[in-house]
Chains A and B, each alone.
Chain A
Amino acid sequence: MFKQLFNDLYSYRQLLKSNVSKEIRGKYKGSFLGVLWSFVNPLLMTLVYAIVFPFVLKTGQPHYVTFLIIGVLPWNFFTTVINQGTNCILVNGGIIKKVYFPREILPISIATSGLVNFLISSIIILIFLFFSGVGYSFNILFYPLIVLIQYILSMGILFITCSIDVYIRDAEYIINFFIMMLFYGTPVLYSASLFPKKIRTILNFNPMCPIINSYRDIFLYKKVPDLSLLLIVLVESIVLFVIGLKVFNKLQKGFAEEV
């Protein structure tokens, strides 16, 4: 199954490439700021949270804005991939009906364009670290590992959601709601350490929770992330990816008839 996937991806690499760039450039086509929106957007979000939440939550979190941006950017990566990718098969229905190409290209290019976006916007994190006086440490070297885990995770979920969405159109809205709910179950606005140990254990069932905590560890707290927990998330993500690919492969046979 994987060999087939890699072969397909290799021979259709040009399609993947042009799809990814279309996804990145095309999204804000016609707007004044263009691609810059993908950086301005999370910054504005962070600004709102930074103004509102210190009043509500009394977090006492030092470097709260930096703390926020390290949470908001990865979360943004995750939600953009899932929310915008879920209907990627439906949106491309016209072409699916007329031409054969490996259908996996569609969700993979959504996840990859999200990844590229995130990699670039990570510069914002570095800028914030510099200006808030937090500085850098060698633990940043863990960054590629965490990003990779998140990439596999979101792609796995996307495989499932986008193929189900073809058959049940509600999936999109249900998933949007679920992601919104998950936002509050993920320590983006708050620190997981606010909670007693029991609740923290429950929170860690949400794979995005250890991922965001790890980003904070390497950037803000300048320490080694919880590697055993990350390993579990990595295994979870790979399992989810395999299941996702299986579901996708099964459902994709009906795509041309259902869209």
Chain B
Amino acid sequence: MVMKSKNDNNYAIIVNNVSKKFKLMYDKPYTLKERIVFWKKSKVSYHQVLKNINVKIKKGETVALIGVNGSGKSTLLKLMTKIIYPTEGTIITNGKLTSLLELGAGFHPDFTGRENIYFNASIFGLSAAEIDSRVQEIIDFSELGEFIDAPVRTYSSGMYMRLAFSVAINVDAEILLIDEILAVGDQHFQDKCFAKLKQLRDSDKTIVIVSHSLGPIKDLCNRAIWICDGEVKEDGSTKEVIDDYLKVCG
């Protein structure tokens, strides 16, 4: 365990010397037979995704993670949510955390939209009473109207996304981690999501966004972190970082 010092309480997320390696196995031995027969035979190589990352995110900050594909942005986000664990280093988060890595994870196709709201929100750690008080707000935000009581499998992909986004954004987490999902629904709904995100930003929630849509990000975030080949290349105001990023990758 890492001791928390007092001023750490001002931070929502502290990433400390974090490295992450993924084990790459060709012919991964899943069964006992394979484990015995191919003992010490299976080729193992490691893919280093993140190298010695140090990031501190203050409470109330809105941070964008940018970088080219495969640079390790999403891995960093997954580490922050504790879906995966770092090979080295530690990650400390303060406060209730919600992640939108993939919209509608855990939706059950046979259940109605309303039931899925309950199910999905419970995965985010809400109690029945908390969901009850929010369910109308979520339905209104999703603009699904009467379809809310139809099974989710009958939804169009846009409706599906809208419902998923509405649940996640109304969970009322202190820290919100979002992975490239600003492109939800039609223009009207996108604008609405964007407005909601701005509102969350101004209500001192901590938001971390991974995105390639640099335009909206410039508008939304006050800080950007450029990750390149698993290392922090630049960390600063959104405008400067994005300008430098565009010089190299644009």
The interface of chain A, by Cβ under 8 A from chain B, is 11-15, 17-18, 94-101, 168-170, 174, 253-254, 256-257
Contacts and interface: CB of A to CB of B under 8 A. Distances in A.
A96 B127 CA distance: 20
Interface of B: 22-23, 30-33, 35, 78, 81-85, 97, 99, 101-102, 105-106, 118-119, 121-128, 131
20 contacts: A11-B127, A14-B121, A14-B128, A14-B131, A15-B125, A17-B122, A18-B118, A95-B123, A96-B83, A97-B83, A98-B106, A99-B83, A100-B81, A100-B82, A100-B97, A100-B99, A101-B123, A168-B30, A168-B35, A257-B23
Given A14-B126, A14-B128, A98 B83 contact: yes
Contacts of B122: 12, 14-15, 17-18
Contact of B125 (A11, A94, A95, A253): A11
A98 B101 contact: yes
Contacts of B124: 99, 101
Given A17-B122, A254-B85, 19 more contacts: A12-B122, A12-B125, A13-B127, A14-B122, A14-B126, A15-B123, A94-B105, A95-B105, A95-B106, A95-B123, A96-B83, A97-B83, A98-B102, A100-B97, A168-B35, A169-B31, A256-B83, A257-B22, A257-B23
A254 B21 CA distance: 12
Contact of A99 (B31, B84, B101, B118): B101
B2 to A, nearest CB: 16
Contacts of B101: 98-99
A82 B99 CA distance: 32
A168 B29 CA distance: 8
B99 A253 contact: no
Contact of A101 (B125, B128, B131): B125
B30 A99 contact: no
A170 B84 CA distance: 24
B113 to A, nearest CB: 15
Contacts of A18: 118-119, 122
Contact of B32 (A100, A168, A253, A257): A168
A99 B82 contact: no
* Of listed A17, A94, A170, residue having the most chain B CB within 10 A: A170
B84 A256 contact: yes
A98 B118 contact: no
A134 to B, nearest CB: 42
Contacts of B32: 168, 170, 174
Contacts of A98: 83, 101-102, 105-106
A20 B99 CA distance: 24
Contacts of A256: 78, 83-84
A15 B22 CA distance: 30
A226 B31 CA distance: 42
A106 to B, nearest CB: 12
Contacts of B82: 100
Contacts of A14: 118, 121-122, 126-128, 131
A174 B35 CA distance: 15
Contacts of A254: 85
